[in-house]
Amino acid sequence: MPTVSAKYSQFVMPDHINVVGTLFGGQMIAWVDLAAAKVSHRFLKGADVDGAVTRTIDKVEFKQPVYLGDWVNFTATIIGAGKTSFKIKVDAYAEGRNSEPRLACIATIVMVSVKKDEDGNYKKTPHGKSC
Ligand SMILES: CC(C)(COP(=O)(O)OP(=O)(O)OC[C@H]1O[C@@H](n2cnc3c(N)ncnc32)[C@H](O)[C@@H]1OP(=O)(O)O)[C@@H](O)C(=O)NCCC(=O)NCCS
């Protein structure tokens, strides 16, 4: 099966900044989760499920600070698939107005595919996909 990946970008605004003047780590993790959600959406096309939820966010590493006015460009790639779960690697590159893109954050995420049952609850459900 060909590699499934997705790109996603965010611009760093004043609301995203912490007390030392760099991007707040929790904001970066929220964006990483969204990048993972985008590749999940793509990966699950055609599967008999309603979507996927985040089960784990592992090995988050903040490698470089990110600054106000940078673009952050995420690449999310499916790197493994189980029965209901699948694993995603996310790389986040920060890009300043006058600097080359630099690897700012990496993370591994496990998502689980879910489907709504008769009681209206979302239950883990095999996605039938491979990687
Ligand atoms: C996701 C959820 C439905 C899974 O239900 P569950 O009964 O806990 O399921 P399991 O523990 O059997 O795990 C389901 C899959 O995840 C995998 N998994 C569970 N914990 C894991 C971990 N720590 N690391 C890697 N994989 C893990 C299991 O191996 C299994 O994979 P498989 O079906 O491919 O073999 C449930 O845990 C849940 O609703 N969690 C909250 C999700 C949420 O609110 N996320 C934030 C908002 S998106």
For residue 64 and ligand 1, the question of a CB distance below 6 A is answered with no
Which whole number is the average pLDDT over 88-117? 97
Q: What is the pLDDT of residue 1?
A: 72
* pLDDT per residue as tens digits for the range 10-30: 999 999 999 999 999 999 999
**CA 39 to ligand 1 center in whole angstroms:** 18
For residue 82 and ligand 1, the question of a CB distance below 6 A is answered with yes
* pLDDT per residue as tens digits for the range 49-84: 999 999 999 989 999 999 999 999 999 999 999 999
Q: What is the pLDDT of residue 127?
A: 98
How would you write the chain as a 3-class SS string? CCCCEEEEEEECCHHHECCCCEECHHHHHHHHHHHHHHHHHHHCCCCCCCEEEEEEEEEEEECCCCECCCEEEEEEEEEEECCCEEEEEEEEEEECCCCCCEEEEEEEEEEEEEEECCCCCEEECCCCCCC
For residue 38 and ligand 1, the question of a CB distance below 6 A is answered with no
Domain assignments of the chain as residue spans, ordered by start:
5-124
Q: What is 5-124's CATH topology?
A: Thiol Ester Dehydrase; Chain A (3.10.129)
Q: Which atom of ligand 1 is nearest to the CA of 123?
A: 3
